[in-house]
Structure 1
Amino acid sequence: MSHDAVREFTTDKTWTDPGEQAAFEWIAPHCSGVPVLDIGIGAGRTIELMKSMSSDYTGIDYTEKLLDMARERFPGTDLRHMDARDMSELPSGHFGLVAFSWNGIDAVDYEGRVRILNEMYRVLRPGGYVLFSSHNRDGPGYGENVWKLLPRLTLNPVKLGWRTLRTLRRLPVASFNYVRHAKLNRDFEGYSIMTAAAHNFGIVIVYTTLREQRRQLAEVGFESDVVFGSCEGDRIPDDAEKSDAWWLHFIAHKPHAVS
């Protein structure tokens, strides 16, 4: 794990963006006191947010190092090492809320994404909710390249000097990663696989569209409730097929009557 990634996951944070706050505020009245499952907890940013809704809390993460950090910060909390693509250790039909924040679902390939959604559906009780965020293919983050790292101009010579030094430090690694990962870029109907600027272009992620993610949720068996954009925390109209948000926060539920 890179130094930047460790710093990002261990910095004390509350909401990642206004959209996440709006999504949590929307879902909290529906999930008060129910068993909650927190996927991709990292070093524990979301633990207190989720526990404010319910004390019946379970958190999981794939990365042992981050999980150990979370255990140190929150002793006695039910935190488990687990891959979200296979949560067979967890009971079916148990949780009233399953959340996967900070676009964590984008970090696996498309087939893995479908497996995660199916596992989320399985562990949910009828009427239970899912909440997750995903990078938006129609947003400004799609198609970023190394030019993004060039220093922003400013009349302040100290700031400009600092930004230039930071760019010089990052650019060699970022350029190497970008060239190495760009060959993996692929566009498909409704989604793309693309290298992202985060962590010096050290990751390749899924970018989805509103239409495709709603279709995918319906295919798994969910009924969509609401989507919030990351930038202003605005609720996106149900009939909208595009948004200019960087990423999207989806809320859906498992129907009470499953056919």
Structure 2
Amino acid sequence: MFSSLKNKSVLVTGGSKGIGKGIARVFAEAGCKVLITARHENVAKEAAAELSKAGGTVAAFAADVTDYKSMQAAADFAVKTHGGLDILCANAGIFPQVKIEEMTDETWDITVDTNLKGTFLSVKACLPALKKSGQGRIIITSSITGPVTGFPGWTHYGATKAGQLGFMRTACMELAKFGITVNAVLPGNIATEGLADLGPDYENTMAASIPLKRLGRVEDIGYAALYFATKEAAYVTGQTIIVDGGQIIPESIEAINQA
């Protein structure tokens, strides 16, 4: 699709499963050198080995996005292993479902720390290497939940995902002088391990509310991120792409059924 990404160095946080793993796969298939991070080294290595078998150049590193020194170590490892760092996919996130009345301070804090503070720390840790790249790219995995829609049980998650876009819009101004762009992909309902945990009834209900009548694939998010990372997208910054199969468009399920 694009020729400008071959041999580019990419760091994907939360890259051992779900959307992160899909993003890593897409970048590896595009000829990039990919480093995936996860909190547990064995999980990261298993995912890297799987993606490498498909022909990609994929390494693994244990890192916690809520810890700045940990993310500095990950960025340093990417530079050492792949000769630099050109692209950060700030993807790591959690979404424990709990309504406001039952939510504890601890659940709120860990969600904000992982999803929102984790984005900030990942970006800050990778900045020195991205500034040297000459084609620095930051792609944030946000969500339609929060910036566009809401869902019971995800007030904390939605707040972090909306917060990521606020961070993005100022970060893109601060980093423009270094030639670094900052953009975000907003997934709708994507078929992942986490979504599967919510049960088949949830999946079927969600698919029925989507004009394309199916959940998205993790690679669908990867392709959107891939565009933002290209040389061809050098003049695109502070922007979002919604990848949701048209989910946010209909006024109701009846509108879909009458189409």
TM-score by length of 2: 0.46
* Larger-Rg structure: 1
Q: Which structure features the higher share of helix residues? A: 2
**Greater share of strand residues, 1 or 2?**
1
